[in-house]
A = this chain, B = another copy of it.
Amino acid sequence: MKHIESESNASLKQWKKLHSRKEREKTGTFLLEGPHLIEEAIHSGAKLQHVIVEENYQMKDEWLKERFSLWSVPAKLMKQLSETEKPQGILAVCEMMDQPEDLIKPKGRYLLIDGVQDPGNLGTIIRTADSAGLDGVFLGEGTADLYNGKTVRSTQGSLFHLPVVKADLLQIIGQCKEQDIPVLSTSLQEAVDMRRASEVEGFALIVGNEGAGVQETLQKESTMNVKIPIFGQAESLNVSVATGILLYELQRNRS
């Protein structure tokens, strides 16, 4: 294990740059914080370039068999690297995952995310899509960055469990239709109660921006608009909650 003591160490400075999206995209790497996420990454075969621990951190023996370079830093530097208020003592530089091409298969179940902006919402939605056993998630333009620290933490590791791909959603909609997969757009107007859409076999569900919802261009290309009934006085639901309700409603007959 190598030790870094100085703020001006070149590696340390490089890792700190990964707080910015631009640098993450340039290098194809991102930061993972905490033992749980690192464990998920290792189990899923994601490649860790560096693992950085706070001095005296007790690392699990099995991890040490992995091939990555290991560094220790004083608490002060860990604080600079971490994006959380209470760093968990361990952090990794992880390579972005390769994603399979031609993801869309007959009877597949997909989620298309059109412009969800809050990283916490995006992460929670990916966690929900994992829990709901989807075959893939597509991130349209204007959607928060998958590799933002807040997004990654909110996924609770689910980003390693299913394909999550940046994509042109119009193209994806076209591919789904070619495979006879119904494309369901969430909407508050002119939409069918979700309970009448729930017998579908395979689906592509589109959820939209926190304020504006799904773009009209995408709604127009959808097979059907669906909505969640509102029984009270709320105007709408949080987008992560709405996604969860819809994904489970659409799969009521799944065993």
| A interface residue numbers (CB < 8 A to B) | 120, 124, 127-134, 154, 156-158, 161-162, 195, 228-238, 240-245, 248-249, 251-252, 254
**Extra contacts besides A130-B232, A154-B238 (18): CB < 8 Å:** A124-B240, A127-B234, A127-B237, A128-B241, A130-B233, A131-B228, A131-B237, A132-B232, A134-B232, A158-B232, A161-B232, A162-B233, A228-B248, A231-B251, A237-B244, A238-B240, A241-B243, A242-B244
From B129, B234, B252, contact of A131 by CB (8 A): B234
Of the listed residues A124, A154, A157, the one surrounded by the most CB atoms of chain B closer than 10 A to its CB is A124
CB distance from A152 to the nearest CB of B (A): 14
Per assembly, the copies of the chain total 2
Of the listed residues A134, A158, A232, the one surrounded by the most CB atoms of chain B closer than 10 A to its CB is A232
Check B124 against A234 for contact (C-beta < 8 Å). no
Check B241 against A124 for contact (C-beta < 8 Å). yes
Of the listed residues A130, A158, A228, the one surrounded by the most CB atoms of chain B closer than 10 A to its CB is A130
Q: Enumerate 27 A-B pairs (CB-CB under 8 Å) in ascending A order.
A: A127-B234, A127-B241, A128-B234, A128-B238, A130-B232, A130-B234, A131-B230, A131-B234, A131-B236, A131-B237, A133-B230, A133-B231, A156-B235, A158-B233, A161-B232, A161-B233, A161-B234, A195-B252, A231-B254, A240-B240, A240-B241, A241-B241, A244-B245, A245-B248, A248-B248, A248-B249, A249-B249
